[in-house]
Amino acid sequence: MTTITRSADTLVLHESFLARRNGFDWLFAVLVVAGGVFAFSRYHAAMDIYEKCILAGTVPSLIWLGWFWRPLRALMLVVAGLALLAIVSYQVDGRGDLARADQVFWLKYFLSSQSAILWMSMLFFISTVFYWGGMVARNPSAALDLIGSRVAWAAVTMALVGTMVRWYESHQLGPDIGHIPVSNLYEVFVLFCWLTATFYLYFEDQYRTRALGAFVMLVISAAVGFLLWYTVVREAHEIQPLVPALKSWWMKLHVPANFVGYGTFALSAMVAFAYLIKQQAGLPPEKQRWWRLAPLWALGVVLCFEPIVFRQGGVDGGSSYWAIYFGVSALIVAGILFGRRRIAGRLPALEVLDDVMYKAIAVGFAFFTIATVLGALWAAEAWGGYWSWDPKETWALIVWLNYAAWLHMRLMKGLRGTVAAWWALVGLAITTFAFLGVNMFLSGLHSYGTL
């Protein structure tokens, strides 16, 4: 009888899952499978067995993602359509001609990789403005928040289009140059921006609040600011051949998994920042002391002294750019300082902020763990050893231990509130040094990622 009951329950669950799929879900699945078959039939000769396995695993993964969170279906289809339009526009007599990037209107101004990424940058800035407009407006305006959210979706779309088209463009430069665009700081900053934004948009949808967009978009806009500076000073947007150590299929798995971790850790830190602002603003006037505004002072130090750090790290150039960056950062911090009570009143409950912070760290930790294991396997193939205590590896371990301890204290000891929020902010500082600081100040086997 027990077996029959369990079988019936399983059947009901299975039917319920299938019943939730609508016609667009199945059409989406068919299109993804068709795209996978087309990619295999056209490019299988240039793929090794591992890359074929990655492609085979990507198809059901994309279908599951589209079914898990339905907004991703439209995102994937729009990105695929725009990327294919760009690729077709490059074609002349069946062959790609990159010179058409300056000849075809929509390539020149919208769909070439560099144009799309510049649109991404502008749209993220605009999204930040609208989110903050909705946050600080005298009368709460859901319309401004909604525009900020829609513009963020558009920015993610252009980022993915730029990434896909850049992948195609790299292959047109030569058979030994083509690679997935996650190989240098320029490319991974684009990856960081759209991954962080996408995870935020998921939480925005799940928790039915757009109030956190103002905070999360700050860290994305800071990344975009660095990306634009890096493009101008280092001409980083130029596609370069891979160094030998990066010519591996492991890169296609290790780097994206790593940046899911970086993106969600950054997201959790900005939510923690919002948590501390709301907590401080909710205190009685007699308990509001200057030192309780430490989160704001910390943000000011991080934003305003970033130009000094880059110069001390030997990264010169663009002094006027960093002067503007300094001024804008100071204005942002001052604005949050003086408007903190209004801002706090529009943030979700502390329990919601705490839950988002925890879930972001949990997702990031899982992917960062996978990335660390994949990195060890890649190192064994490339350098003959799983671990060499290279500075990048050492700091990756420090990041992992930091968030492992955070989650342990959360799950075993019930860590909540102020301590958890401050810990998440400190974790962002550690993660940032592992991501950028090691490249600036230390050298090792990962020196191909230097500034």
Residues 6+ apart with CB under 8 A from 382: 245, 248
Q: Could you tell me the pTM of the whole model?
A: 0.90
**β-bridge mates for residue 91, sequence order:** 96
Q: Look up tokens 């009570």; give the residue.
A: 341
- CA–CA dist 366, 289 (Å, integer): 38
- Report the pLDDT value the prediction gives residue 440, as an integer from 0 to 100: 72
- Report the pLDDT value the prediction gives residue 285, as an integer from 0 to 100: 61
Burial of 397 (0-12, 13-18, 19+ CB in 10 A): middle
- Report the pLDDT value the prediction gives residue 385, as an integer from 0 to 100: 80
Per-residue model confidence as pLDDT tens for the chain (451 residues): 444 444 544 444 455 666 778 889 999 999 999 999 998 998 888 787 888 898 999 999 999 999 999 999 999 999 999 999 999 999 988 788 898 999 999 999 999 999 999 999 999 999 999 999 988 887 766 789 999 999 999 999 999 999 999 999 998 888 788 889 998 889 999 999 999 999 999 999 999 999 999 999 999 998 998 898 888 877 888 888 888 778 888 888 999 999 999 999 999 999 998 998 888 876 666 555 655 566 555 555 555 555 555 554 445 555 566 667 777 777 777 778 777 888 888 999 999 999 999 999 999 999 999 999 999 998 888 778 888 888 888 999 999 999 999 999 999 999 898 899 999 988 998 998 888 878 777 665 565 555 5
CB distance 87 to 168 below 8 Å: yes
- CA–CA dist 301, 278 (Å, integer): 20
- Report the pLDDT value the prediction gives residue 295, as an integer from 0 to 100: 58
